[in-house]
Amino acid sequence: MKAVQVTGYGDVDMLEVVDIRIPTPKKGEVLVKVKACAINNTEIWMREGAYGTEEKSGWRPEGVQFPRIPGSDITGEIVEVGADVSETLLGKSVVLFPFTSSGAEGSEHISDDMSFIGSEYDGGYAEYVAWPSELCYDMPLSAYEESAVFSVSGLTAWHMVEQIQAQPSETIVITGANGGVGSLNVQIASKVFGSKVIALVGDLALEDKMKELGATHVLSYKSPNLAEEIVEVNGGPVDSVLDVVGDALFETSLEVLKKGGKFCISGSAGGQKTQLDFRTLYLKHITFYGSVLGTREEFKRMLDAISEGKIKPVIDRTFPLEQAGEAQTYFKHSGKLGKIVLLP
C-alpha cells in the first residue's frame, strides 16, 4: 500500500512516501481502508519533537519509534477482520477513536498507558490501517471526508467544554477560534451548551464565518486593546476561557476572567512557557484546567451531536495523500478556517 512515514525527528523532509505491506489485523482488530485522514498539530509536533526537549520526545517517555505513519483522524471502510471479530462488520463505514488505554471508563485519557494512533501505532497517512474493532464507531455523517474532521480536535474541544461545565447564562472566550480545536470549541460551547462565545481570531475577515459557527462576538488577537474590547462587548468580565494558544494570550485571559472564573488549556500554539503572577490566581479565585483529548463516552456524545446537526464539519482544504508534506506546511499557515484533510 501507499503510505507516508515519518523517518525521524525533523523538518517536513522527514516525511517519505513509501510502498509497504498492508497490515494484517491481529486478534480483536479490523483492517480499515482509509478514505480520509484529517491533519492535527499533534503529528506535526510529533515529527518536530516538540512534545519534549530531549531526543525522546513523544506522548510516551520512550519517544517515538521511527519510521512511523502519522495521522489520527481517520474514516474508512472495514475490509478485513482479525480473529474474534464478527464478519458482520465487513463493509461498515467507521470513524476511529484515536487512542488505546487500559484506564477505567471516564479515565481513559489520563491513564499512563494511553497510546495514540499515528504516534505509538501507525496511523492514517496510508491506504490501510489496522485498529481494534471496539474503537471503531459508526460514522456520524454520510461523507468520509466530513466525518474525519472531528476525532482529535472535536474530542479535545468537547472535553474542554464539559470540564468547565459551560452554562447557557455564561460567556466563554475562545482562543484560536478559527483553528481545528477552536472552531469546534465555538460550535460546542454555543450550539450544544448554549453559552455566549467571544471568538478570538487574527483576521477579522473571518467574522461572518465565525458567527455562523455560533460566535456572538469576534475580536482580533492583534488588537492592542483586546482585554478592554472583550470586557466591553460582554458588558463585564467573562466566566471562562478555553485556550489553545498559551503564552501569547495568557495575560489577556487572566485579565478578562471574572472572580471565580475558569481557565482551560489544551494547546500552546502561541508559546509553551509563560509567566504567572500567583497573586492574580488566588486573588481572583481562578480555577485552572489542563486538558488532553477526552473519554470514549464523550466521543459518543460528540458523535451524537454531529449526527443531530448541532456541530458541522469545517474543512479548509483537502490534499492528496502524496502531498502530506505540502499539507502539513499549509496547516501551519495563519488564518485558515477549520481542518485540512488528506485523501488517499
Ligand X SMILES: NC(=O)c1ccc[n+]([C@@H]2O[C@H](COP(=O)([O-])OP(=O)(O)OC[C@H]3O[C@@H](n4cnc5c(N)ncnc54)[C@H](OP(=O)(O)O)[C@@H]3O)[C@@H](O)[C@H]2O)c1
Query: Of residues 269, 302, 306, 324, which one binds ligand X by CB under 6 A?
Result: 269
Q: Give the number of other CB atoms < 10 A from CB of residue 72.
A: 27
Looking at 5-13, 41-49, 89-97, 117-125, which segment touches ligand X (CB under 6 A)?
41-49
Tell which residue, 99, 102, 89, has the closest CA to residue 31: 89
For 70, how many CA atoms within 13 A lie in the half-sphere containing its CB? 30
Please list every residue from 237 through 256 that binds ligand X, using CB under 6 A: 244-245, 248-249
Assess 40 for contact with ligand X (CB under 6 A).
yes
CA distance 81 to 33: 12
**Sequence-ordered strand ranges (E) for 148-295:** 171-174, 196-201, 217-220, 238-243, 257-265, 287-290
Nearest to ligand X of 68, 109 (CB atom): 109
Please list every residue from 84 through 103 that binds ligand X, using CB under 6 A: none
Assess 292 for contact with ligand X (CB under 6 A).
yes
Assess 270 for contact with ligand X (CB under 6 A).
yes
Nearest to ligand X of 85, 219 (CB atom): 219
DSSP conformation letters of 221-248: TT-TTHHHHHHHHHTS-EEEEEESSTHH
Size of the site for ligand X (CB under 6 A): 32
Nearest to ligand X of 195, 328 (CB atom): 328
Assess 227 for contact with ligand X (CB under 6 A).
no
Query: Of residues 41, 147, 195, 328, which one binds ligand X by CB under 6 A?
Result: 41
Query: Of residues 15, 32, 37, 45, which one binds ligand X by CB under 6 A?
Result: 45
Query: Of residues 152, 192, 242, 254, which one binds ligand X by CB under 6 A?
Result: 152
Q: What length is written for the chain?
A: 344
Nearest to ligand X of 93, 296 (CB atom): 296
Please list every residue from 169 through 198 that binds ligand X, using CB under 6 A: 175-176, 178-182
Q: How far is the CB of 340 from ligand X (least distance, A)?
A: 8
Relative to beta strand 136-138, strand 217-220 is: unpaired
Tell me how far apart the 2 most distant CA atoms of the chain are, in Å: 61
Assess 204 for contact with ligand X (CB under 6 A).
no
Please list every residue from 293 through 312 that binds ligand X, using CB under 6 A: 293
CA distance 126 to 6: 12
CB-based contact 261:282 (threshold 8 Å): no
CA distance 238 to 261: 7
Assess 71 for contact with ligand X (CB under 6 A).
no
Q: How far is the CB of 266 from ligand X (least distance, A)?
A: 4
- Residue 250 is classified by DSSP as H
Q: How far is the CB of 333 from ligand X (least distance, A)?
A: 7
Query: Of residues 57, 119, 163, 266, which one binds ligand X by CB under 6 A?
Result: 266
CA distance 11 to 74: 23
Q: How far is the CB of 50 from ligand X (least distance, A)?
A: 8
Q: Which amino acid is at 300?
A: K
CA distance 308 to 304: 6
Q: Is 82 exposed, middle or buried (0-12, 13-18, 19+ CB in 10 A)?
A: middle
CB-based contact 245:176 (threshold 8 Å): yes
Looking at 89-97, 191-199, 298-306, 333-341, which segment touches ligand X (CB under 6 A)?
333-341
Assess 221 for contact with ligand X (CB under 6 A).
yes
Residues that bind ligand X (CB under 6 A): 40-42, 45, 152-153, 156, 175-176, 178-182, 201-202, 221, 244-245, 248-249, 266-270, 291-293, 334-336
